[in-house]
Amino acid sequence: MSKRQFKAESKRLLDLMINSIYTNKEIFLRELISNANDAIDKLCYEALTNKTLKVDKRKLGIKIEIDKEKRLLKIEDNGIGMDKEELVDNLGTIAKSGSLAFKEALEKKDKVNIIGQFGVGFYSSFMVADEVIVESKKAGFMKAYKWVCKGLDGFEITDCDKQENGTIITLHIKENNKEEKYDDFLDDFKIQGLIKKYSDYVAYPIKMNIINEETKEKSETEAINSMVPLWKKNQKKIKDEEYYKFYQEKFFDYTKPLKVIHTKAEGIVSYDALMFIPAMPPYDFYTKEYKKGLELYSNGVLIMEKCEDLLPDYLNFVKGVVDSPDLSLNISREMLQQNRQLMVIAKNIEKKILKELSEMLLNDREKYETFFKTFGVNIKYGIYDNYGAKKEDLKDLIIFYSSKEKKMVTLKEYVSKLTEDDDTIYYACGETVDKIDMIPQVESLKEKNKQVLYLTDYVDEFVLKTLEKYDDKKFVNVSSNDFDLSTEEEKKLLEEKNESSKEMFEFMKKELGEEVFDIRYTNKLKNHPICLTSKGEVTVEMQKVINAMPTDEHINAKLVLEINEKHAIAKKIKYLYENDKKTLKKYTKILYNEARLIEGLPVTNPTELSNLVCELLAK
C-alpha cells in the first residue's frame, strides 16, 4: 500500500500542529466534536430530500471512548460519513473551509502569532496524537474506508469493515513530556470537563463509554452536554431560578444577579444574547487580572471565552453569552475585531443594556440605586471617557443626592423643578452628604429654597464638566467664585466695600504668601464667617482629585478666602488692621486654615495653627 502525500501547505500546517508550541491543546476535542455535529446535521439535511436515507433521530449522537492501556481516544458519530474521495480531499488538503484563514495567515509567515488564534479543525488532533485513524462510511453507500496517518510523511487509505454510517476518529495519544501532560486526554473525568467547557450546547447528545478498568465492562453515560442552551430557549418558559442557576454556575458568583437581560435578534445579523448585571462586583473586578467580555458561541460551540469587543469598557461588569450562527468557528481574533457582524452585535447589545438600565431607573428606583451604588462609577466613566463621546446616551442614567428631595435624583428631575427663568444647576462637592450639608454656601442656598446636588464621588465633577450643560442649564459649583446670587445693587455695594479695603487684604495676603490668590468680602454667607472658593477653571475638588492621583501631575486651584461682610469677624479684622497689625497676621492664618478645613483640605501647619489658637484662647 503506497502512501499518499499531503499537499505542501497541508504539510506545513501539520508540521506546526505536531510541533506545536500552542498551549491550548485541549481545543482539539472541540474541533472534532464540532465536525461530528456538522456531519450529523448534514445527514439530517440530506435525508430531507433523499428518501432512501433512513434517519432515526433518537439515535443520532456522538460517542466518546477511552482505552487507557492502548492510549486511544475515540470520537464516533453517526452522521453523513465520508467516501474514499472525500477522505482524501477533506483530510488531505488544507484549503477546506475552516483552515483557509489559517492558511492565509500562514502565508504572512507570522508563525508565532497565528498559532493559538485559530480553530484549525481536524488537524488539531495532531497536537495531542502521534497517530490518527479515521474510519468512515458514507450514508447510503456500502463500503467503508480507513484513513491512517502518523505524521508528515503522508497517509494511507484502505477498505475497512464498518456497518453503520458515520465516522470514528481514533487518536493515539502522545506520551507525556516535560511541558505537557497528554495523559489528561485519557482521563474520563478530564474529557467530560472539556466536553462541558467547549461543547455543552452542541445539539446532539455526547455520551461516553466508560470502561471499568478491572472488569473491562462498558457502561454508557447519560448525555454530558446540556444540548439546548438556556439562551436559545423560549424566554417565556424560563423560570427565574433557571437563569440564576445558570449565572451562578457559569460565572462563579454565589449571589443572584441584579438583572437578567435575555434578547433575541433576527435580521441582517442573528444572535441570541443572555446577559447579567451582577449584584456585586465580580471578585476580581478591581484587579489588573480582570478582563471584560462576553462568551462568544457560534451555534452552541464556544469560539471565545471572553470576547472583549462585545462590550464597551464602561460596561465591563456585564457578564453573559452571545451566540450567533453568522460567525464562523474558525475566525481569528484579529479578524473578529474587524468583523462587521460582530460590530453590529456589539452595538445592539450596548443599546439593549442601556435601555434596560433606563427602564430600571424609571420603574424600579430602589433596584437602580443599588445598581448605581456598585456600578454608577462605570456609567460616570462612560460619560467622560473618550472626550465625552457617549455622554448623550448616558447623561440620563446618572443620579446624585439632592439637598431638597433628600434622595437621589436624575438631572432631568432636577431641571423639571426649576422655574422658567432659572438656568443653573447648583452642585457642591465633598466626602459625604453630611459634610456637604455644612458647607456655608450650601446652607445659604437651602435658605433661598434652591436645590443643590451633592457630589460625593471623586469623579463627579469631571462628569459634569464633560456634560458642560444639561438641557441648556449650566452647572455651577457653589464653591467657585462665580457662584453669586446677589442683585446688581448688592453686587455694587460689595464691590465698593472690597475696593475700600484693598490695602488691608493686600496686607493679609502677604502673610499667606503664594497660597492664596485673593482675599475679599462676600455677601453670600448667611451665618458663617468665612469660606474658601476658587477662581477659574480648576476647582478645589479637582485639585484634590488630581493631586491624590499616583502621578507626578499637580495642579493648584486659585484659592480665594472669602469673609462674610456682615459677620462680627469682619469688624474685628478692620479694627486690628487699624490698631494691631501683629495680631491681624495671626488672625489671618487662623481664618485661612479654618476655611481650608471646611473645604476638606489639609491644614498646612497643624502645630502652628494649634499654637496660634491657644495663644488667643489664653488671652
Report the interface residues with ligand ADP, using CB under 6 A: 31, 35-36, 39, 77, 79-82, 90-91, 96-99, 121-123, 167, 330
Nearest CB to ligand ADP, comparing residues 93 and 611: 93
Nearest CB to ligand ADP, comparing residues 43 and 261: 43
Helix (H) or strand (E) holding 128: none
Residue 170 C-beta: closest distance to ligand ADP, Å? 12
d(CA 37, CA 79): 8
Nearest CB to ligand ADP, comparing residues 82 and 360: 82
Nearest to 167 by CA among 90, 220, 95: 90
d(CA 222, CA 209): 10
Residue 49 C-beta: closest distance to ligand ADP, Å? 18
Amino acid at position 385, single letter: D
Shortest Cβ contact with ligand ADP: which residue? 98
Residue 43 C-beta: closest distance to ligand ADP, Å? 9
Nearest CB to ligand ADP, comparing residues 17 and 609: 17
Residues of 4-38 as b/e, b for ≥16 C-beta within 10 angstroms? eebeebbbbbbebbeebebeebbbbbbbbbbbbbb
Nearest CB to ligand ADP, comparing residues 326 and 423: 326
Residue 166 C-beta: closest distance to ligand ADP, Å? 7
Task: Tell me if 420 sits within 8 A of 392, measured CB to CB.
Answer: no
Provide the grid cell at 56.
Answer: 432515526
Task: Tell me if 354 sits within 8 A of 298, measured CB to CB.
Answer: no
Is 563 in a helix, a strand, or coil?
strand
For 278, half-sphere exposure in the C-beta direction (CA atoms, 13 angstrom radius) is 22
Amino acid at position 567, single letter: H
Nearest CB to ligand ADP, comparing residues 31 and 594: 31
d(CA 368, CA 2): 71
Is 278 in a helix, a strand, or coil?
coil
Nearest CB to ligand ADP, comparing residues 42 and 404: 42
d(CA 318, CA 354): 11
- For 265, phi then psi, to 5°, come to -130, 135
Beta bridge pairs of residue 143: none
β-sheet with 408-410: strand ranges across: 408-410, 399-402, 452-455, 424-429, 473-477, 469-470
Nearest CB to ligand ADP, comparing residues 330 and 479: 330
Nearest CB to ligand ADP, comparing residues 80 and 463: 80
Helix (H) or strand (E) holding 295: strand 294-298
Residue 37 C-beta: closest distance to ligand ADP, Å? 9
Residue 86 C-beta: closest distance to ligand ADP, Å? 7
Beta carbons within 8 Å of 339's beta carbon, 6+ residues apart: 327, 331
Nearest CB to ligand ADP, comparing residues 80 and 128: 80
Provide the grid cell at 497.
Answer: 466695600
Residue 330 C-beta: closest distance to ligand ADP, Å? 6
Task: Tell me if 151 sits within 8 A of 16, measured CB to CB.
Answer: no
Nearest CB to ligand ADP, comparing residues 145 and 384: 145
